[in-house]
Amino acid sequence: MDGNGRWAKKRSLNRIRGHRAGTESVRDIVRASREFGIQVLTLYAFSTENWKRPAREVSALFELLKDFLRSELEEMMENGIHLNAIGDIERFPGDVLEVLRHAMDATKANQRMTLNLALSYGARDELARAARLLAQKCVNGKMCVEDITPEAISAHLYTVNLPDPDLLIRTGGEARLSNFLLWQLSYAEIFFTSVMWPDFRKEIFLQAILDFQQRERRFGRIGAQLIESPR
Ligand code: FPP
């Protein structure tokens, strides 16, 4: 969800106003995802690197997150949305964690869509954490070194119960991954757009999905093989 700061700067507003406008896009895109029948929507809302931003901006982001979670809970319940978080959420202040845990708990039985928020998330930290968990199991004799397969690694990531993403969308004109889901995005289709996140709404989201639907996903094979079995 890149480009909030630049969106604000262009309008001579402070960066926080950009994040506030970005929250409106979050609402719009969550609703659109539900409408389009998307099963899992993951939003990169706060990275491990974002902790280095000015304290004022960090706490404004926390306030926006709390407001969003409180104001959207009812709609999430009505629409069968399960809220999940990936990342080192224990680093968050108690009040943020409380609102987050409440929303996750209240929506845990909802099954129509998962809204997955990446919060204090960094893929390298996630992979290092998985390596530690696996190493500990080997040390404790619960598994052998030979059992460390790609599946075992996936099972020790924050995304354990979630499918790998099919499509990655990055707004704001940059063409990089910025430590996001590095393992899980191995075969994802990528859509980069120069549209700033606060301007990213349902119409352009639909364009990204239509673009995705034109891609031939070969997963390392040749096109002719896909007719027999697509995956
Ligand atoms: C990146 O843009 C955006 C963020 C670091 C924060 C994203 C947060 C929100 C959209 C609002 C709160 C989230 C939820 C889920 C309610 P940037 O600040 O790096 O933009 P820039 O590159 O233009 O400076």
Would 230 be classed as within a structural domain?
no
CATH number, residue 20: 3.40.1180.10
User: According to the model, what pLDDT value does residue 228 have?
Assistant: 76
Would 89 be classed as within a structural domain?
yes
Would 91 be classed as within a structural domain?
yes
Q: Which of 76-85, 165-174, 184-193, 220-229 has the lowest mean pLDDT?
A: 220-229
Whether ligand 1 lies within 6 angstroms of the CB of 1 is answered as yes
Whether ligand 1 lies within 6 angstroms of the CB of 3 is answered as yes
Whether ligand 1 lies within 6 angstroms of the CB of 116 is answered as no
Question: Is there a contact between 174 and 6 (Cβ–Cβ < 8 Å)?
Answer: no
CA 210 to centroid of ligand 1, rounded, Å? 25
Contacts of 46 (CB under 8 A, 6+ apart): 61, 65, 87, 118, 119, 120, 121
Would 23 be classed as within a structural domain?
yes
Would 36 be classed as within a structural domain?
yes
CA 227 to chain centre: 31
Would 221 be classed as within a structural domain?
no
CA–CA dist 220, 228 (Å, integer): 15
- Overall domain count for the chain: 1
CA 145 to centroid of ligand 1, rounded, Å? 40
CA 119 to centroid of ligand 1, rounded, Å? 12
Would 181 be classed as within a structural domain?
yes
Domain region containing 36: 4-213
Could you give the residue numbers annotated as active site? 2, 50
pLDDT band of residue 222 (cuts 50, 70, 90) is confident
Please say if the pLDDT value at position 204 is more than 80. Answer: yes
Whether ligand 1 lies within 6 angstroms of the CB of 43 is answered as yes
Would 15 be classed as within a structural domain?
yes
